[in-house]
Amino acid sequence: MSYPEHRFETTREIEALLFAAAGPLTEAEIVKRLPEGSDVVGALADLSLRYAGRGVVLAYVANAWRFQTADDLAWLMTQEREEPRRLSKAAQETLAIIAYHQPVTRAEIEAVRGVQASRGTLDVLLELRLVRMRGRRRSPGRPVTYGTTDSFLEHYGLSNLSDLPGMAEMKTAGLLSLDLPADFAVPDPNALALDEDPLEPDAPEFHVDFIGEDAAST
Amino acid sequence: MSYPEHRFETTREIEALLFAAAGPLTEAEIVKRLPEGSDVVGALADLSLRYAGRGVVLAYVANAWRFQTADDLAWLMTQEREEPRRLSKAAQETLAIIAYHQPVTRAEIEAVRGVQASRGTLDVLLELRLVRMRGRRRSPGRPVTYGTTDSFLEHYGLSNLSDLPGMAEMKTAGLLSLDLPADFAVPDPNALALDEDPLEPDAPEFHVDFIGEDAAST
Amino acid sequence: MSAGFQPSLDFNAAATAAEDGEALIIDVDGYEGPLHVLLALARSQKVDLLQLSILKLADQYLAFVQDARHLRFSLAADYLVMAAWLAYLKSRLLLPKAEQPRPEEAPAEEIAARLAFRLAKLEAMREAAERLRTGPQLRREVFGRGDPQAIRIIPSNAFEGDLYALMSAYIGQRAKESQRSYRPAPPVAYPLEDARDRLRRLLPDMDRWTPLAGVAPAGTPTAGPSRASYVASTLSASLELVREGEMEARQLEAFADIYLRARKSEATA
């Protein structure tokens, strides 16, 4: 089989897989299903191009690929739209703080907002699986730290945490440090914070993945 | 708007509609949802051509249009997928009690749940290796005590049992309601159980050992 | 005294008091807390939050709290603590600098800068929340496959569940447990009258010695009176019939089976 034909077959296969799938598929999942030796990376690049600007586009969310409708066509989708559960302002703010500052403890969330987290803020986010318990801070009392889930990324169409809007500007402005000094080094939310014990020492991915899968199947 | 651009928009719109729809759409349905005057027939013809020979094709079945994966790629779709099992409510509850109250006997689980534990519930948890027999209670009848396993910790992302969220976190998550009795406490599963005899994993039971030896010698 | 006025501490006063119960949130005209009020006031200065005039801000806040207190007598402690703290900060900002600053007090400018920074942080988070809210969201602006094709599913040993679900399950039951009261089911007894009527009906057929166990109804293991109740009621009824001279009973020794038969006075006589 000549090279281009091989590549064409691979794009067809990935196209079919992603179209049929209920949720995003990671590169590894795609590789596992395709014949050995398929150039998945190249084919994904081809597909991206092929679908750019179309009514259905190839998107990279939560470190996985999915087809989705173009966002400028939202007006067409009135029948498909689910009435989303509206997050309260407090819940939205809390979600933003968790997303940008993770891992973050409840006390830290409260410090940023200047009010005590009330009932129905954190638990709504946990229940919607936008937020999860990540680990424990290595500080007195070992408070639980919170972080976002894969379904958070999927919901907001982010490929990963560094894709959060305005992240870079906030970082340079020092606005993401939990301590007050403005010149403080900003922790990378992707990396495990140094003073955090993993809830899962060797396979933190498992938990994350799992939640993603869960969300996809519901 | 020039004609081709108009036509291109219509193909995009139909693409998105058919992709997101829960089932095939008839031409009339498509016409109804698109802006008035859209050339639906022409756009459908364009789309048919665009997708011909791809991994996903536009198909006309039972007087309606839908995207479907190409016939020759059916082998990709039948790939088996490991679906995580959903724990039944009873199993979830039993697991929660074992996690917090371990070591705990079957009778004690039933006392908390207020219903008889069905044999299947514990069996499922044992089979999933979330729960294990831990030892025997030093009380009449020497009932078997149950506890959680390492894979339980792994699954829930806990480094050890003391990481199990306690009352403080339950409060944080908004789970503890105010009408709980004042003496409500969540036990510490990490506490050493003094009234428990080990099951002795190396030499589980004389009986078992004996049979093993017997079988080996014959 | 100065330590208590550190900005990182002042919000916790009311919070710790409310720790055991519901958080007390007094919604003052839509503001969730003093920091949100300050932020709204600071925005009206139309400068970079970090260049904010804390003096102006303090004045505005104090006026706000005055007004709010006028309308609502029970203003949350948080708001008043913040007001007191701002008044203190303002006085320190206005006072000429001491030649030798007291070591335990941070310079007022630094405290003011920290407050400005906190406001900037909160503002950034609100903007972030807004950006997330208005951006494309799944099933609101963008849509996935409406009709995913079935992929054959095989059961596996992996299972779904997260800590939150586990905690919810646990609490749900403990709550149930605490509400449950003990209601013993009254045992159902076999009425004596029924036993007597039944014996009378059986009497014509009981001309031979029959063990009590065979006379008493067998009963069903799941519902109705227990076997013991059937036997006991039948025995009592039979003793009554013996007294009335309609029946004979005998037992060879203690704990042995009891035998019953109809009394055939005319026949034997």
CA–CA min distance B206, chain A (Å): 37
| Closest residue, chain B, to C150 (C-alpha) | B77
Provide mean pLDDT across the span B95-108. Answer: 88
Residue among C133, C141, C168 with most chain A CBs within 10 A, to mutate: C141
Identify the residue with better confidence: A94 or B6.
A94
Indicate if the pLDDT at residue B23 is higher than 60.
yes
Predicted confidence at residue A5, as pLDDT, reads 78
Determine the Cα–Cα distance for residues A121 and B172; give it in Å rounded to an integer.
9
Residues A180 and A129 in one domain: yes
Partners of residue A82 in chain C, C-beta under 8 Å: 139-140
Residues A112 and A72 in one domain: no
Indicate if the pLDDT at residue A46 is higher than 70.
yes
Determine the Cα–Cα distance for residues A30 and A132; give it in Å rounded to an integer.
27
Residue C249 DSSP one-character state: E
Indicate if the pLDDT at residue B149 is higher than 70.
yes
> Using the beta-carbon criterion (under 8 Å), do A111 and C140 form an inter-chain contact?
no
> Using the beta-carbon criterion (under 8 Å), do C142 and A23 form an inter-chain contact?
no
| Closest residue, chain B, to A81 (C-alpha) | B20
Residue C80 in any domain: the answer is yes
Predicted confidence at residue B210, as pLDDT, reads 40
CA–CA min distance A50, chain C (Å): 18
pLDDT, tens only, A170-192: 888 888 877 644 332 333 344 44
Predicted confidence at residue C181, as pLDDT, reads 66
| Closest residue, chain C, to B90 (C-alpha) | C169
Q: Which residues make Cβ contacts (< 8 Å) with residue C101, sequence separation at least 6?
A: C107
Residue B84 in any domain: the answer is no
> Using the beta-carbon criterion (under 8 Å), do B80 and C165 form an inter-chain contact?
no
> Using the beta-carbon criterion (under 8 Å), do B114 and C156 form an inter-chain contact?
no
Residue A190 DSSP one-character state: T
Q: Which residues make Cβ contacts (< 8 Å) with residue B209, sequence separation at least 6?
A: B203
Predicted confidence at residue B115, as pLDDT, reads 77
Predicted confidence at residue C151, as pLDDT, reads 56
Domain count, chain B: 2
Q: For the range A162-167, what are the long-range contacts, defined as Cβ-Cβ under 8 Å and sequence gap of 24 or more?
A: A162/A188, A162/A189, A162/A190, A164/A99, A164/A100, A164/C128, A165/C128, A165/C131, A165/C132, A165/C135, A166/C124, A166/C127, A166/C128, A166/C131, A167/A100
Predicted confidence at residue A218, as pLDDT, reads 35
Residue B180 DSSP one-character state: S
Partners of residue A126 in chain B, C-beta under 8 Å: 173
Partners of residue A156 in chain C, C-beta under 8 Å: 132, 135-138
CA–CA min distance C116, chain B (Å): 29
Distances (CA, A) of C259 to A153, C190, C231, C262: 82, 20, 13, 11
**What does the block give as tokens for A211?**
């939640």
Least trusted range by pLDDT, from A8-12, A14-18, C103-107: C103-107
Greatest mean pLDDT among A141-145, B22-26, C188-192 lies in B22-26
Residue after which a domain boundary falls, among A77, A107, A131: A77
Indicate if the pLDDT at residue A150 is higher than 50.
yes
Interface of B with A (CB under 8 A): 11-17, 19-22, 33-34, 54-56, 67, 69-70, 73, 76-77, 79, 83-84, 154, 156-159, 163, 165, 169, 172-175
Residue B185 in any domain: the answer is yes
Identify the residue with better confidence: B207 or B146.
B146
Task: For chain C, list the contacting chains (3+ Cβ pairs, <8 Å).
Answer: A, B
Predicted confidence at residue B12, as pLDDT, reads 95
Indicate if the pLDDT at residue A139 is higher than 50.
yes
| Closest residue, chain A, to C26 (C-alpha) | A115
| Closest residue, chain B, to C169 (C-alpha) | B93
pLDDT band for position B16 (cuts 50, 70, 90) = very high
Q: Nearest by CB to C146, which of A66, A80, A114?
A: A80
Taking the mean position of all CA atoms in its chain, how far away is CA A111?
25
Residues B93 and B199 in one domain: yes
CA–CA min distance B192, chain C (Å): 21
Residue after which a domain boundary falls, among A13, A45, A77: A77
Residues A134 and A46 in one domain: no
Residues C14 and C125 in one domain: yes
**What does the block give as tokens for C164?**
């939150």
Provide mean pLDDT across the span A112-127. Answer: 84
> Using the beta-carbon criterion (under 8 Å), do B173 and C177 form an inter-chain contact?
no
Residues A53 and A27 in one domain: yes
**Interface B-C: count of C-beta contacts within 8 A:** 123
Predicted confidence at residue C101, as pLDDT, reads 61
> Using the beta-carbon criterion (under 8 Å), do B54 and A207 form an inter-chain contact?
no
Determine the Cα–Cα distance for residues C225 and A68; give it in Å rounded to an integer.
66
Mean pLDDT per block of 10 residues along chain C (269 residues) reads 39 40 51 86 83 88 86 78 88 78 72 85 89 85 77 55 79 75 73 88 85 80 78 88 87 86 63
pLDDT band for position B84 (cuts 50, 70, 90) = low
pLDDT, tens only, C112-142: 888 888 888 888 898 899 988 888 888 888 8
> Using the beta-carbon criterion (under 8 Å), do A81 and C120 form an inter-chain contact?
no
Residue B83 in any domain: the answer is no
Residues A109 and A52 in one domain: no
Residue C164 in any domain: the answer is no
Residue C184 in any domain: the answer is no
Contact C24, C76 (CB under 8 A): yes
What CATH code is carried by the domain that includes residue A9?
Answer: 1.10.10.10
Distances (CA, A) of C133 to A73, A84, B13, C30, C75: 18, 12, 25, 19, 31
Residue B162 in any domain: the answer is yes
Task: For chain B, list the contacting chains (3+ Cβ pairs, <8 Å).
Answer: A, C
In one-letter notation, the amino acid at residue C19 is E
Residue C152 in any domain: the answer is no
Q: Which of B42, B44, B40, B36 minimizes the C-alpha distance to B67?
A: B44
> Using the beta-carbon criterion (under 8 Å), do A71 and C142 form an inter-chain contact?
yes
Residues B165 and B142 in one domain: yes
Task: For chain A, list the contacting chains (3+ Cβ pairs, <8 Å).
Answer: B, C
Helices (H), A52-186: 89-101, 106-113, 122-127, 150-156, 167-172
Q: What is the mean pLDDT of chain A?
A: 79
Predicted confidence at residue C31, as pLDDT, reads 79
Residue C159 in any domain: the answer is no
Task: Specify which residues A136 forms β-bridges with.
Answer: A144, A197
Partners of residue C124 in chain A, C-beta under 8 Å: 166, 170, 173, 175-176
> Using the beta-carbon criterion (under 8 Å), do B15 and A198 form an inter-chain contact?
no
Partners of residue B85 in chain C, C-beta under 8 Å: 155-160
Residue C139 in any domain: the answer is no
Residues in chain A: 218
Determine the Cα–Cα distance for residues B150 and B130; give it in Å rounded to an integer.
8
Residues A208 and A100 in one domain: yes
Partners of residue B96 in chain C, C-beta under 8 Å: 166-167, 169-170, 173
Partners of residue C15 in chain B, C-beta under 8 Å: none
Predicted confidence at residue A43, as pLDDT, reads 94
Q: Which of C247, A152, C173, A213 minimizes the C-alpha distance to B82?
A: A213
Predicted confidence at residue C265, as pLDDT, reads 59
CA–CA min distance A66, chain B (Å): 12
Sole residue written with tokens 């992603």: A18
Partners of residue C116 in chain A, C-beta under 8 Å: none
Residues A10 and A93 in one domain: no
pLDDT, tens only, A67-117: 999 999 999 988 887 776 788 888 999 999 999 998 999 888 988 888 887
Residue A83 in any domain: the answer is no
> Using the beta-carbon criterion (under 8 Å), do B184 and C149 form an inter-chain contact?
no
> Using the beta-carbon criterion (under 8 Å), do B157 and C159 form an inter-chain contact?
no
Domain ranges, residue A149: 89-217
> Using the beta-carbon criterion (under 8 Å), do C167 and B175 form an inter-chain contact?
yes
pTM beyond 0.95: no
Provide mean pLDDT across the span B91-112. Answer: 87
Residue after which a domain boundary falls, among A77, A101, A125: A77
Q: Which of A144, A120, A119, A129 minimizes the C-alpha distance to A62?
A: A129
Residues C19 and C129 in one domain: yes
Predicted confidence at residue A97, as pLDDT, reads 93
Predicted confidence at residue B83, as pLDDT, reads 63
Partners of residue A25 in chain B, C-beta under 8 Å: none
Domain count, chain C: 2
| Closest residue, chain B, to C182 (C-alpha) | B114
Residues A106 and A193 in one domain: yes
Q: Which of C95, C128, C253, B11 minimizes the C-alpha distance to A73?
A: B11
> Using the beta-carbon criterion (under 8 Å), do C149 and B89 form an inter-chain contact?
no
Residue B139 in any domain: the answer is yes
Indicate if the pLDDT at residue B91 is higher than 50.
yes
Residue A109 in any domain: the answer is yes
CA–CA min distance C217, chain A (Å): 55
**What does the block give as tokens for C46?**
């139309």
Residues A115 and A143 in one domain: yes
Indicate if the pLDDT at residue B198 is higher than 50.
yes
Domain ranges, residue C235: 192-262
> Using the beta-carbon criterion (under 8 Å), do B15 and A56 form an inter-chain contact?
yes
